[in-house]
């Protein structure tokens, strides 16, 4: 099969084939590809296309389909631990380049849809899995980027969808007919929305019977009639003090579905309310795993920049104990949560669809770790780097010769490091950690892929408490046997264990 592998430039040009209804900072966008306020976001996604063309990265950037065709791994399902590990490394790589590569949200949605459509088909004799497979092929064939739309408007967070004062606060089906369905509502906080080709829409939570109309999942082009996008700028395209986020960033948007028609061959779930929560959780599991790689890439950048800043200040970690300790903390945090992504890959399992999913306890605790620790990363980077991160003179002042000379003179670092180098590095660190962009990173780390509380709940829900409890009860029973107070195997929690392990315990004791 012939699959397209677009370059960055191809991707940018491909956006011109769509004509979405988008507004940003109060103005209608005529051409997404040419909109400066989206350029940092477009750049970031372009990197996901470009890196797939670089030989040294192709092992992780490309996946091989059954027939041997290569596709961008972001468009592929995972089929093994090795695939999951490479996906993890891929998200780390693209985020180390871009801050947030955004496109992995699509990868995660595809993995979840594969599993849940196949599960529904197996359970309920529906035919969603083949719809999904056709769609997957479509994505791969055109090397598409889809935004994944999960979070609804929600209104009163203490109420379920059907309990809201306004029924439109969650996306829902307002009409079904032979050709397809019509949906209404809004999805909030949608990453990358303005500069994608299509949306994949998933339910945001578990549903009850009364929420049946809200149990819906589908795909739709960005320029479908009735679809409106109110977007924020991607990164800080206009900020002269933002060397990173003027080049790379993410737009988030409010996406309104004003009675949008979805044909049946793009509908992945419609009314099967018992599966809404499973689909949301399956997506979350894949996505939390991806976030682990993503934020490790951010950690990498901050470690590199902090190490340089320390050297520029004359206080390198090799010489100064407290800087070394701080560096060690940055490493411990970044590699510490990254390790959970590795473990989630190693202990992943195959679904009924044949694809592979990360271990959900590990992916949840890893996402929780990074969510909370990204703030520590910022703190430590600031401790290493010093106050200049907040107080470097403005570029406009530096540009005035007289002032520029004074700044050059007085803000030098260790011998051989110019004020310009120090200020540039300080600004880079400020941009990533102490700016609206830094704040954005912290909040998407915390809430992206679900709130910390959602992770805490999932990790506990998916943990195998029973085997741990059994082991303890068995141990206490063994001790009783050794002490002669055992009340016999009929009271034992696990006869088989007892036969096998108590005997060996007694064998040990019996010498």
Q: Report the binding-site residues for FAD.
A: 191
Q: Indicate whether 5 belongs to the interface with a second copy (CB under 8 A).
A: no
Query: What is the DSSP code (8-state) at residue 246?
Result: T
Q: Considering only the stretches 66-74, 148-156, 200-208, 282-290, report the one whose residues sit in contact with a second copy under the rule CB under 8 A.
A: 148-156
CA–CA–CA angle 287, 98, 104 (5° rounding):
25
The residue (of 472 and 489) whose beta carbon lies closer to a second copy is 472
Q: Which residue from 387, 401, 484, 488 is in contact with a second copy, where contact means CB under 8 A?
A: 387
Residue 37, SS3 per DSSP: helix
Minimum distance, C-beta of residue 440 to a second copy, in the bound complex (Å)? 5
d(CA 38, CA 32): 7
The residue (of 119 and 345) whose beta carbon lies closer to a second copy is 345
Minimum distance, C-beta of residue 70 to a second copy, in the bound complex (Å)? 18
Q: Which residue from 24, 76, 77, 109 is in contact with a second copy, where contact means CB under 8 A?
A: 24
Minimum distance, C-beta of residue 171 to a second copy, in the bound complex (Å)? 10
Q: Indicate whether 396 belongs to the interface with a second copy (CB under 8 A).
A: yes
Minimum distance, C-beta of residue 149 to a second copy, in the bound complex (Å)? 13
Residue 487, SS3 per DSSP: coil
Run of H or E including 187: strand 180-191
Minimum distance, C-beta of residue 287 to a second copy, in the bound complex (Å)? 14
Query: What is the DSSP code (8-state) at residue 152?
Result: B
d(CA 266, CA 180): 9
The residue (of 30 and 56) whose beta carbon lies closer to a second copy is 56
Q: Indicate whether 53 belongs to the interface with a second copy (CB under 8 A).
A: yes
Run of H or E including 431: helix 419-433
Q: Indicate whether 4 belongs to the interface with a second copy (CB under 8 A).
A: no
Q: Which residue from 2, 158, 177, 178 is in contact with a second copy, where contact means CB under 8 A?
A: 158
Site string for a second copy, 225-254 (x = CB under 8 A): ---x-x-xx---------xx--x----x-x
Q: Which residue from 479, 487, 489, 491 is in contact with a second copy, where contact means CB under 8 A?
A: 479
DSSP 306-358: HHHHHHHTT--TTT-HHHHHHHHHHHHHHHHHHHHHHHHHHT-EE-TTS-EE-
What is the Cβ-side half-sphere exposure of residue 64, based on CA atoms within 13 angstroms? Answer: 7
Q: Indicate whether 472 belongs to the interface with a second copy (CB under 8 A).
A: yes
The residue (of 209 and 415) whose beta carbon lies closer to a second copy is 415
Minimum distance, C-beta of residue 229 to a second copy, in the bound complex (Å)? 10
The residue (of 223 and 421) whose beta carbon lies closer to a second copy is 421
Q: Which residue from 465, 484, 488, 490 is in contact with a second copy, where contact means CB under 8 A?
A: 465
**Near a second copy in 171-230, by CB under 8 A:** 186, 188-189, 228, 230
Residue 22, SS3 per DSSP: strand
d(CA 421, CA 28): 39
Direct distance between the N- and C-terminal alpha carbons of the chain, in angstroms, rounded to an integer: 68
Minimum distance, C-beta of residue 389 to a second copy, in the bound complex (Å)? 6
**In sequence order, what are the residues at sequence separation of 6 or more whose Cβ sits closer than 8 angstroms to the Cβ of residue 81?**
345, 346, 348, 356
Q: Indicate whether 393 belongs to the interface with a second copy (CB under 8 A).
A: yes
d(CA 47, CA 123): 40
Minimum distance, C-beta of residue 187 to a second copy, in the bound complex (Å)? 9
Token pair listed for 448? 């992206």
**Near a second copy in 426-445, by CB under 8 A:** 428, 430, 433-436, 438-440, 442-444
Minimum distance, C-beta of residue 155 to a second copy, in the bound complex (Å)? 6
Q: Indicate whether 336 belongs to the interface with a second copy (CB under 8 A).
A: yes
Q: Indicate whether 424 belongs to the interface with a second copy (CB under 8 A).
A: yes
Q: Considering only the stretches 58-66, 102-110, 126-134, 359-367, report the one whose residues sit in contact with a second copy under the rule CB under 8 A.
A: 359-367
For 95, 142, 147, 191, 216, the CA distances from 200, given in Å and listed in that order, are: 22, 15, 6, 12, 11
d(CA 346, CA 49): 27
Helix residue ranges per DSSP H, 23-65 = 39-50, 55-61
Kindly provide the b/e burial profile for residues 88-102, where b requires at least 16 CB atoms within 10 angstroms of the residue's own CB.
Answer: bbbbbbbbbbbbbbb
Site string for a second copy, 284-323 (x = CB under 8 A): ----------------xx-xxx-xx----xxx-x-xxxx-
């Amino acid at each position: 099969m012939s699959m397209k592998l677009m370059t960055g430039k191809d991707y940018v040009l491909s956006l011109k084939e769509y004509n979405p209804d988008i507004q940003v900072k109060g103005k209608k966008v005529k051409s997404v590809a040419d909109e400066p306020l989206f350029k940092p976001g477009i750049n970031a996604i372009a990197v996901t296309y470009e890196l797939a063309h670089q030989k040294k990265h192709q092992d992780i950037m490309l996946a091989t389909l059954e027939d041997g065709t290569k596709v961008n791994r972001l468009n592929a399902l995972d089929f093994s631990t090795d695939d999951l590990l490479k996906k993890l490394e891929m998200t780390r790589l693209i985020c180390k380049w871009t801050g947030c590569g955004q496109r992995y949200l699509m990868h995660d949605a595809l993995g979840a849809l594969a599993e849940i459509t196949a599960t529904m088909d197996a359970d309920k004799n529906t035919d969603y899995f083949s719809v999904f497979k056709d769609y997957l092929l479509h994505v791969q064939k055109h090397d598409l980027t889809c935004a994944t739309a999960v979070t609804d408007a929600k209104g009163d967070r203490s109420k379920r969808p059907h309990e809201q004062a306004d029924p439109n606060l969650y996306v829902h089906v307002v009409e079904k007919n032979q050709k397809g369905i019509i949906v209404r509502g809004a999805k909030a906080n949608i990453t990358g929305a303005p500069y994608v080709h299509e949306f994949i829409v998933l339910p945001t939570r578990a549903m009850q019977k009364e929420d049946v109309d809200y149990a819906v999942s589908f795909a739709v082009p960005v320029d479908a009639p009735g679809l409106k996008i109110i977007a924020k700028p991607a990164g800080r395209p206009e900020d002269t003090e933002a060397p990173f986020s003027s080049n790379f960033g993410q737009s988030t948007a409010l996406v309104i579905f004003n009675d949008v028609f979805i044909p049946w061959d793009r509908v992945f779930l419609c009314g099967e309310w018992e599966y809404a929560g499973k689909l949301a959780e399956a997506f979350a599991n894949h996505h939390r795993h991806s976030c682990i790689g993503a934020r490790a890439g951010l950690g990498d950048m901050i470690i590199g920049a902090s190490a340089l800043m320390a050297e520029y200040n004359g206080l390198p970690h090799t010489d100064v104990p407290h800087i070394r300790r701080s560096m060690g903390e940055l490493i411990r945090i970044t590699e510490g949560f990254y390790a959970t992504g590795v473990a989630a890959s190693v202990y992943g399992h195959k679904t009924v669809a044949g694809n592979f999913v990360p271990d959900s306890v590990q992916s949840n605790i890893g996402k929780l770790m990074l969510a909370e620790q990204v703030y520590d990363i910022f703190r430590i980077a600031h401790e290493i780097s010093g106050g200049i991160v907040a107080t470097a003179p403005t570029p406009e002042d530096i540009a005035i010769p007289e002032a520029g000379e004074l700044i050059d003179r007085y803000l030098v670092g260790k011998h051989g490091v110019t004020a310009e180098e120090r200020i540039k590095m300080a600004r880079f660190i400020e941009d990533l950690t102490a700016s609206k962009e830094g704040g954005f990173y912290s909040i998407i780390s915390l809430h992206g892929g679900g709130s910390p509380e959602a992770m805490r709940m999932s990790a506990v829900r998916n943990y195998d408490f029973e085997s741990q409890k059994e082991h303890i009860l068995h141990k206490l029973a063994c001790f009783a046997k050794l002490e002669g107070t055992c009340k016999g195997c009929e009271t034992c929690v696990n006869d088989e264990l007892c036969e096998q392990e108590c005997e060996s315990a007694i064998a040990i004791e019996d010498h």
